[in-house]
A and B are shown apart, each in its own frame.
Chain A
Amino acid sequence: MNGAVPLWVEAVVAVLLVASGIASLVAATGMIRLRGLFLRMHAPALAGTFGAWAVAIASVVYFSALEGYPVLHTLAIPLLLAVTLPFTTVLLARAALFRKRQDGANMPPPLSRG
């Protein structure tokens, strides 16, 4: 570790971090403002994909510049999220659909007649 990071590396890291924060904020706003569960379910994916990737790439860039060799293990986190988040989201959507149907709602309406 030599303790000094070039300015352009810090600029790249800062831009990636702020982009991740804005993505998370947009996701939260969508989760507050969208109507209905099935619309709302789309919003948090922004934090889980764009936000996590941006922070992980910022961490890779910063630690690689700090240590002097490629530090790639942080990329395991968004890769793990890419495997687990769709799984839980689909499971939750199916649970919601099952419960709404059990309550007597006709959803989603059939696409074809007869």
Chain B
Amino acid sequence: MTPLLSIAVFATLSCYAIAMALGVVRLLRGPGAEDRVLALDFLYVNGMLVLMLLGIRYASGMVFEAALLIALASCVASAALAKFLLRGEVIE
């Protein structure tokens, strides 16, 4: 890992961290329940991006499966929460 790539990885990780902090602010403060679900979805996507970045940093292909699972869980969680907001229950 040369200095160029390690500096780029550090800068990108800092950007992701600040973005996730702003997402947590929206999650805690969001006026409605939908805002919180939106912030949760954003946090899922950002966590997945962090994992893919760490996969590049450590030159490991193992984290790819974890990132894929997080993407799937994000879809299922947001769909279930939206369904809950819509109907008051998830499975009828």
Q: Which residues of A contact B (CB under 8 A)?
A: 7, 10-11, 13-15, 17-18, 20-22, 24-25, 27-29, 31-32, 37, 40-41, 44, 47-48, 51-52, 55-56, 58-59, 62-63, 66, 71, 73-74, 76-77, 80-81, 84-85, 87-88, 91-92, 94-96, 98-99
Interface of chain A, main secondary structure: helix
Contact A11 B4 (CB under 8 A): yes
Q: Which residues of B contact A (CB under 8 A)?
A: 2, 4-5, 7-9, 11-16, 18-20, 22-23, 25-26, 32, 34-35, 37-39, 41-42, 45-46, 48-49, 52-53, 55-56, 59, 61, 64, 67-68, 71-72, 74-75, 78-79, 81-83, 85-86
Residues of A within 8 A of B14 (CB): 21
10 tightest A-B CB contacts, nearest first: A21-B15, A14-B8, A84-B75, A28-B19, A21-B12, A28-B22, A88-B78, A91-B82, A95-B86, A95-B85
Number of A-B contacts (CB under 8 A): 157
Residues of B within 8 A of A28 (CB): 18-20, 22-23, 42
